[in-house]
Structure 1
Amino acid sequence: MDNLSEHLQEMMKGRGVTRRFNEMKKTVMADADVQQFLHDHADELAPDAADRGAAKLYEYIRQRSKSGGPDAFAPGYVPRLVVAGHLIDIEYQPSAQKVADDERSRRLHLVRMENVPRDVRSAMLDKYDENSGREAAIVAAYNFVKQVGEDKERFAPGLYLYGPFGVGKTYLLGAMANELARRGVAVLLLHLPTFAVEMKDAIKDGGVLARIEAIKKVPVLMLDDIGSESFSPWFRDEVLGVILQYRMQEQLPVCFSSNKDKKQLQGFLAGNERGDEESIKASRIMERVNFLTKQITIEGPNRRDTQE
């Protein structure tokens, strides 16, 4: 920035300096933004500030025309005229596009969604259709996001979203995750059946413990589709149980979606549907689920063919 001003000043010292200076000053003084700045700060500026700051004013006009683009002196930044020591100076601020891009990047780094539909990854709470079967869910979602976003140290019970296939459970989890990220809260949303398969594969390369360690400590964890597909007692007890136990002890929020209510889920976890009764171990899992979440029922038509 200073180099550009110095270059312009050197140019004035050469041949035709008076003509060039007058042409530049004429261009500068005809600019509406410059006129407004000089008017607004007349009491702060030295009497000869416009003449002494002609190079700065010319730099401002040139760089402003590039709108913080790739050809600008400082790409992604736009010039702003300021008063410094009764003279004219320039400071560079992030452009609106850069601010938006930086915010988008920050949010992308805060939220991770694994094995969920494309529309869920861009879901927004204000786009969630509030039909007669969804009011309680959307109110609970807003309350949860507000509580977690405003006080990250205080435990907020998560949501156990229960309802038939296609009513919008996964979409609502995604919308909550994106809103939490906007508020500066890191979130991990996992499709639980796929995660169970991945953890089984991770046994081969010894990656189970590292994966559990990372997941159990994320600020907000969301587990999608629990109860839709069976998983092994090993995954139930040594993976899911360990994660939920840690989060219960540390009071870290968890949210679920399921096509089974909590009572049905307990039977599912016990192996009733496989004829393999392990009710005590299933009860332990449900104790953690009950502590960590409150059940919210979602009703409505199946939207799977359009958007949840």
Structure 2
Amino acid sequence: MESMGEVMRSMNNPALRQRSRDLQQNLLNDPLVKQLQAEHPELDDSRLKLHMSRLFQYVRESRNCASCPGLEHCPNDFQGHYSKLTVENVNGSPDLFERKTACNLKIAQDSQDSIRRRIRSFYVDERVLNGGYDEMDIMGKDPRRASAVNKIFDYITRVKEDGLSPQGIYLHGTFGTGKTFLMCYLLHELAVAGYSGVIVYMPDFIEDLKSIMLDGQKLKETVDTLKNCDLLIFDDIGAENLNPWARDHVLGAILNYRMNRKPTFYTSNYPLDGLEKHLSFTSKDGEELYKGQRLMDRIAPFVEVIPLHGENQRGRNR
């Protein structure tokens, strides 16, 4: 590190002083600075010279943005932000102020992060939620899906225009027709509109409840999350291996709370009557028709039933 004496001697070097003056003049003559002066003629050169470091930062970061290398490689001091200069009167005199301002790429990223924070998944592959959606692609993959897809589009539009209602959707069809994908699309679109949502893959969720039941706090937090989110999707309901406790005390409690309050959505390989048979049977107690009907009273009146027809899309882009 240079000593203070060396720094002082360098300041007395005529060549260095001249170079400093040249750099200062080049900066004052920069088109961006000239434009700033044209917009604010009250800023004369003497006033600008008091803020050379701010002008330098402003010009440098403006040029970086003009040849933007992308958000991940942003060379500015604060990633995704640029220096914005404003002129304000202080004690009757104009002065220059610098503010760090988020660029469009940063704003877009923050918006996507906010959307992701509104969506939680239990045992569902995150790639399905974050894969991106194209409405024309969704519609065009298989014409036989058109009726179901249009109904989902209509549901999303109604919620955006009128807000949430207790009415959800029961989407059923054969294997691989894109039920989960379409429900994730619905979840994403309504998260963009500001709603929170949870999607639960039922076979793994019911299996995991066996361990969660030993942790009372975790169980309560999980059930409360499913009760209180704006949008709840039970994915592949009917494929789980039910036990009486999971059916009556967990699933039943969640559905009992949400009915008449918030919409619940389902994907299943079963139509509603097939689901009722499934819910009437547990691995421990066998067939209990009354308990299956009790749960269906909390499902059937609160859903629009949509059959989804089409080819098995597994292994293809949906």
What TM-score comes out, normalization by structure 2 length?
0.79
Partner residue, 1:19: 18
- C-alpha distance in structure 2 between counterparts of 1:70 and 1:36, whole Å: 25
Deviations for 1:231-269, whole angstroms, at most 9, x for unmatched residues? 1233222111110010014x1111110111112211222
Aligned to 1:3: none
Q: What is aligned with 1:307? A: 317
Structure 1 residue 179 displacement after superposition: 2.0
Structure 1 residues 87 and 19, CA gap change in structure 2 (3 angstroms): farther
| Structure 2 residue ranges without an equivalent (≥5) | 1-7, 66-70
Q: Which one of 57, 62, 68 corresponds to residue 59 of structure 1?
A: 57
From 104, 107, 125, the counterpart of 2:112: 104
Q: How many residues align?
A: 293
* Residue 76 of structure 1, CA deviation: 3.5
Residue 224 of structure 1 pairs with residue 223 of structure 2 = no
Aligned to 1:234: 245
Q: 1:252 to 1:31 in 2, by over 3 A?
A: same
Alignment of 1:142 onto 2:146: no
- 2-structure distance, mates of 1:150, 1:23: 60
Residues 31 and 141 (structure 1 numbering): CA distance in 2 closer, same or farther, change over 3 Å?
farther
**SS state at 2:310 partner:** coil
Aligned partner of 2:3 in structure 1 is: none
Does residue 278 of structure 1 match 2:282? Answer: no
1:84 and 2:94 matched: no
The amino acid of 1:84's aligned partner reads E
C-alpha change, 1:287 and 1:197, in structure 2 (3 Å) is: same
- 1:195 alignment partner AA: F
Q: 1:129 to 1:115 in 2, by over 3 A?
A: farther
**Structure 2 residue matching 1:306: 3-state secondary structure:** coil
In 1: Cα distance, 2:25 partner to 2:210 partner:
74
Structure 2 distance, partners of 1:274, 1:160, is 27
- For residue 160 of structure 1, report the CA deviation from its aligned partner: 0.8
1:107–1:172 distance in 2 versus 1, CA, 3 Å: same
Aligned to 2:226: 215
Distance 2:64 2:300 in 1: 57
1:117 to 119, 122, 125: 125
CA distance in 1, matches of 2:154, 2:173: 20
| Contact persistence 1:223–1:256 (CA under 8 A) | yes
Contact 2:172 2:271 in 1 (8 A): yes
Give the partner amino acid of 1:161.
L
CA displacement 1:76-134 (0-9 Å, x = unmatched): 32012222223443221013333233223222221112222354122444242443222
Alignment check: 8 A CA contact 1:44 1:83 kept: no
What do the CA deviations read for 1:166-223 (whole angstroms, capped 9, x no partner)? 0000111112222222222211101011111111222233343442222211221111
Secondary structure at the counterpart of residue 128 of structure 1: helix
Contact 1:125 1:176 in 2 (8 A): no
2:308 corresponds to which residue?
Answer: 298
Paired amino acid for 2:230 = P
> In the alignment, which residue of structure 1 is the partner of 2:190?
180
One-letter identity of the residue aligned with 2:80: G
SS in 1 for 2:195: coil
In structure 2, the residue matched to 1:33 is 32
Distance 2:221 2:126 in 1: 27
Farther-moved stretch of structure 1 (186-195 vs 266-275)? 266-275
Q: Per the alignment, in what secondary structure is the counterpart of residue 260 of structure 1? A: coil
- Aligned match of 1:157: 167
After superposition, what is the alpha-carbon deviation per residue over 1:27-49, rounded to whole angstroms, capped at 9, x for unaligned? 2244333333333x145645855
Query: Structure 1 residues 307 and 58 mapped into 2: Cα distance closer, same or farther (>3 Å)?
Result: closer
State the Cα distance separating 1:156 from its structure 2 match: 4.7
Question: Are residue 133 (structure 1) and residue 144 (structure 2) matched?
Answer: yes
Does structure 2 conserve the Cα–Cα contact (< 8 Å) formed by 1:124 and 1:179? Answer: no
Within the candidate set 224, 248, 264, 2:274 is matched to 264
Q: Secondary structure at the match of 1:268?
A: helix
Q: 1:94 to 1:247 in 2, by over 3 A?
A: same
Q: Which runs of 5+ in 1 are unaligned?
A: 1-10
For residues 283 and 304 of structure 1, the distance between their equivalents in structure 2, rounded to whole angstroms, comes to: 33
RMSD: 3.1
